[in-house]
Amino acid sequence: MLPKSYDFKKSEKKWQKFWVKEKTFKFDPKSKKPIYSIDTPPPTVSGKMHLGHSFSYSQLDFVARFKRMRGFELFYPFGTDDNGLATIRMVEQEKGVKGTEMRRKEFIKLVLKTLKVVGPKYVKDWKKIGMSCDWSIYYTTINEHCRRISQKSFLDLYKAGKIYRKRTPFLWCPECQTSIAQVEMKDHERESKFVYMKFDTSVSKPITIATTRPELLPACVMIYVNPRDKRYKEFIGTKAKIPFSSREVDIKADESADPEFGSGAVYHCTFGDMDDVEWMEKYKIKPIEIMNKDGRLNEKAGKYKGMTAHRARNAIMEDLRKEGRIDKTEKITHVVNTHERCGTDIEILMTEQWFISYLDLKNKFLKAGKGMKWFPTYMRSRYDNWIKGLKWDWNISRQRHFGVPIPVWFCEKCGEILLPDEKDLPVDPTEDRPHKACKCGSRKFRGDPDVLDTWATSSLTPQIAAALFPKIYGRLYPMSMRPQAHDIITFWLFNTVVKSQMHSNLNPWNDIMISGWALDPKGKKMSKSKGNVIEPQEIIEKYGADPLRFWASGSKLGDDLPFQEKDLITGKKFSTKLWNASRFAMMHLKGYKPKRPRRFTEIDKWILSKLSNIIKVSTEFFDRYEYSKTKAETEKFFWHTFCDYYLEIVKDRLYNKGSYEKWEIDSVKYTLYYALLSILKLMSPITPHITEEVYQLYFRKSERDKSIHISKWPEFDNSLIDHKAEKVGDMAVDIIASVRKFKSENSISLAEPIKYVTIDSDQVKPVLREIQKTMRIENIKIGKAKGRETENFKIKLEIMK
Ligand SMILES: [Zn+2]
Ligand SMILES: [Zn+2]
């Protein structure tokens, strides 16, 4: 009945097709079942799925499949995140165009058209790992639906007074020519020079300032020394002259000047770092903006105009040297903030940006974090620490051509801000016109050319997905669970909480499931540049999706897991063992109609009781997202208790039915049927293909459910718990192991009989026949025995060949 071996290539493809065709995982909005909704992370369409994806999405899918079998109606969408830089690059490459040379509307159209072709190919990889989403609930974050929701979020927050526009110093990438967020910065350690520069002062001697950025000299607005620093007492209140200019700046006392750092005197430029911004605000200083958006110095830098920061640094140092203004230079290694995406040093520039005002809501967000269940719990501290360390409001505008447009017009005459009507969303203000005149009467407008930061949209995924079913929106949002990796807690997760709290005072989800990373075999992060990338597509080709998922289930939620090929082999062996055990059972259960007998033999009671325990703990583990423990317990039970012992013990009953009573046969058949079906179900979230194959080939006829994945999760049955039988069965196993050992020590094959075994324990009386038949013992009895002791129960045995 079951073919001799399991053909994973054929099987996996077959069932993936079957699930789609039969709509096995289709969400039914009319269902009366409680809904379990998942805020599936939308990956960015670029290249192909990487191992980390296959790792974390598998873990998410374990939970989804478990919940479905537990009786929930799954709302399990799939979207892609396509309004950022990666998408621009992908489409430009694919189509041979330049986004900035096209009208934005046209480029968005082209993106959507390209995604229609590229998207399904990309998503295929997710289907191949066996994800059980409802693929028809699909969105891309640049489509009309998402643009509308994202722009509506902007309008709502603006109207609530939570969005403001301000010209302010902010993090700027001169390479990408856009503002960036705090989270997009990456620390980069670099060698640099600490330059000690001498400035003339209004007292007789010069003051020495140490800096790594001498090129900002033309933007120096103040000099600070610590009031307790004796070296500089006489300078406080005097003035210093800026070299190569006629400007003079005040020398002030400020506690934040560190006497131990450099020369102890610091110069305040606009802007070298965020301290400079704080000082500017503290002393109400007007900044000198010497840098343009492309990172070059402007006319305010005098003769250094047109130079990049790097070139200006060398030129200024040269000039300082000529005038004898350099005391010394020191080589140092320091940490520089760079743009994560392009590696360019971040500057701080005054630009006009949109902000969501939220620094005043820190406590609300901290409280929100406590209101959700985090799995694993310790991950919440990352969220808390991030909030505590927040320094700036959320800058949501980006100076990019492509993205969700900021839905705002400015009146050319009076500068008034005009917003579109909600019913007209989505709009592109650089092309669409407002329907009304400004209150000054003018009809001349300038559309905001900026776009929203991609996180301003992806922070709305729960609302985006739920809004696809407007009639039951309230049942889908807030969602049951957000799964995601730990590295984006500070932005995707946090920003989603921000939006949800600001819009509706609700948490976006009840539970948060945080997965770790897949690492290379040495425990290092995989990256293309390191050349240590392992591709899941190759693994699936070679081993199949089930072993890949089996591997992904080996790590505790939240933990990183080094990739080991041997884990795939273990997964593969598990599949083979499961197949063979099923094949054996099917052979003996041909035509069997499952009916629970009134009476069970002791050994059947033993396995049923053990199985019930496994079902109980597996369910509890899964409820806490601890799929790795469910898998470990079930695997151990299946491999050792069920295959190594139970199947061996019942062989005689199954092969020699005639020498047993009917109730004993009824007992073994039911037990075998029930135990195997339960094992398949327990493993089905982890290895969905092989379990479906066995289910369809044998169990479906009697169980009736169209798929194992929509069948009922095994229920804990207290009436099957039998502590006495468990002990007796374990003793039998202990004795069998001992006799096996005896046979192997004496080079007797398992099939060969042995003469005598005397067991010094009358507790095993009910399973004596099983021990005898399993080990082919000609004479077995209970009585005083001299000889070896069993390992666990220390039962004395006397064995004769
Ligand atoms: Zn950049
Ligand atoms: Zn106006």
pLDDT at 178 over 90: no
Which pLDDT band, with edges at 50, 70 and 90, does 801 fall under?
confident
CA distances from 43 to 49, 61, 724 (A): 9, 15, 53
Give the number of the ligand closest to the Cα of residue 174. Answer: 1
Cα(89) to ligand 1 centroid in Å equals 14
Cα(176) to ligand 1 centroid in Å equals 4
Which pLDDT band, with edges at 50, 70 and 90, does 183 fall under?
confident
- In DSSP notation, 562-626 reads E--HHHHHHHHHHHHHHHHHHHHHHHHSTT------S---HHHHHHHHHHHHHHHHHHHHHHTT-
Cα(399) to ligand 2 centroid in Å equals 24
What's the mean pLDDT when you consider all of the chain? 94
Structure tokens at 273: 């770092």
CA distance 335 to 801: 76
Cα(98) to ligand 2 centroid in Å equals 35
Cα(219) to ligand 2 centroid in Å equals 36
Cα(418) to ligand 2 centroid in Å equals 9
Strand 207-211 to strand 185-201: parallel, antiparallel, or no bridges (unpaired)? antiparallel
Would you call the peptide bond into 426 cis, given omega within 30 degrees of 0 as the criterion?
yes
Give the number of the ligand closest to the Cα of residue 172. Answer: 1
Provide mean pLDDT across the span 708-730: 97
Cα(393) to ligand 2 centroid in Å equals 28
Cα(164) to ligand 2 centroid in Å equals 18
Look up the pTM and report it.
0.88
pLDDT recorded at residue 348:
94
Cα(287) to ligand 2 centroid in Å equals 29
Cα(552) to ligand 2 centroid in Å equals 59
Cα(343) to ligand 1 centroid in Å equals 6
Contact 91, 114 (CB under 8 A): yes
CA distances from 283 to 168, 217, 268, 290, 447 (A): 16, 19, 11, 20, 35
Cα(446) to ligand 2 centroid in Å equals 11
Cα(410) to ligand 2 centroid in Å equals 8
pLDDT recorded at residue 391:
86
Which pLDDT band, with edges at 50, 70 and 90, does 667 fall under?
very high
Q: What is the number of other CB atoms lying within 10 angstroms of the CB of residue 343?
A: 11
Cα(502) to ligand 2 centroid in Å equals 30
Give the number of the ligand closest to the Cα of residue 342. Answer: 1
pLDDT recorded at residue 182:
77
Cα(351) to ligand 1 centroid in Å equals 16
Cα(369) to ligand 1 centroid in Å equals 31
Which pLDDT band, with edges at 50, 70 and 90, does 37 fall under?
very high
Cα(82) to ligand 2 centroid in Å equals 35
Structure tokens at 497: 């909480």
Cα(242) to ligand 1 centroid in Å equals 32
pLDDT at 1 over 80: no
Give the number of the ligand closest to the Cα of residue 186. Answer: 1
Cα(742) to ligand 1 centroid in Å equals 71
Tens of pLDDT, residue by residue over 348-369, are 999 999 999 999 999 999 999 9
Which of 34-48, 511-525, 712-726 is predicted most confidently? 712-726
Cα(346) to ligand 1 centroid in Å equals 8
Strand 754-759 to strand 561-562: parallel, antiparallel, or no bridges (unpaired)? unpaired
Cα(437) to ligand 2 centroid in Å equals 8
Give the number of the ligand closest to the Cα of residue 446. Answer: 2
Residue 223: φ, ψ to 5°: -125, 135
Cα(349) to ligand 1 centroid in Å equals 14
Nearest partner of 194 among 326, 335, 329, 310, judged by Cα:
329
Cα(161) to ligand 2 centroid in Å equals 20
pLDDT at 795 over 90: yes
Cα(116) to ligand 1 centroid in Å equals 29
Cα(339) to ligand 1 centroid in Å equals 5
CA distance 91 to 111: 6
Which pLDDT band, with edges at 50, 70 and 90, does 341 fall under?
confident
Cα(171) to ligand 1 centroid in Å equals 11
CA distance 106 to 118: 18
pLDDT recorded at residue 164:
97
Provide mean pLDDT across the span 326-331: 93
Cα(174) to ligand 1 centroid in Å equals 7
Give the number of the ligand closest to the Cα of residue 184. Answer: 1
Give the number of the ligand closest to the Cα of residue 415. Answer: 2
In sequence order, what are the residues at sequence separation of 6 or more whose Cβ sits closer than 8 angstroms to the Cβ of residue 37? Answer: 74, 75, 76, 465, 466, 476, 477, 479, 480, 481
Provide mean pLDDT across the span 278-286: 90
CA distance 657 to 719: 27
Cα(172) to ligand 1 centroid in Å equals 8
Cα(429) to ligand 2 centroid in Å equals 16
DSSP lists the bridge partners of residue 350 as: 169
Least confident span in 275-279, 302-306, 461-465, 537-541: 275-279
Q: How far is CA 393 from the centre of its chain?
A: 25
pLDDT at 257 over 80: yes
Cα(435) to ligand 2 centroid in Å equals 14
pLDDT recorded at residue 181:
80
Give the number of the ligand closest to the Cα of residue 434. Answer: 2
Cα(444) to ligand 2 centroid in Å equals 8
pLDDT recorded at residue 747:
94
Cα(445) to ligand 2 centroid in Å equals 8
Cα(333) to ligand 1 centroid in Å equals 22
Cα(184) to ligand 1 centroid in Å equals 9
Tens of pLDDT, residue by residue over 729-770, are 999 999 999 999 999 999 999 889 999 999 999 999 999 999
DSSP lists the bridge partners of residue 253 as: 225
pLDDT recorded at residue 204:
84
Cα(185) to ligand 1 centroid in Å equals 10
Give the number of the ligand closest to the Cα of residue 418. Answer: 2
Tens of pLDDT, residue by residue over 57-113, are 999 999 999 999 999 999 999 999 999 888 888 899 889 998 888 999 999 999 999
Q: How many helices (H) and strands (E) does the chain have?
A: 24, 28
Cα(39) to ligand 1 centroid in Å equals 30
In sequence order, what are the residues at sequence separation of 6 or more whose Cβ sits closer than 8 angstroms to the Cβ of residue 457? Answer: 83, 141, 146, 149, 150, 404
pLDDT recorded at residue 89:
85
Give the number of the ligand closest to the Cα of residue 438. Answer: 2
CA distance 162 to 182: 19
CA distance 62 to 688: 9
Tens of pLDDT, residue by residue over 538-595, are 999 999 999 999 999 999 999 999 999 999 999 999 999 999 999 999 999 999 999 9
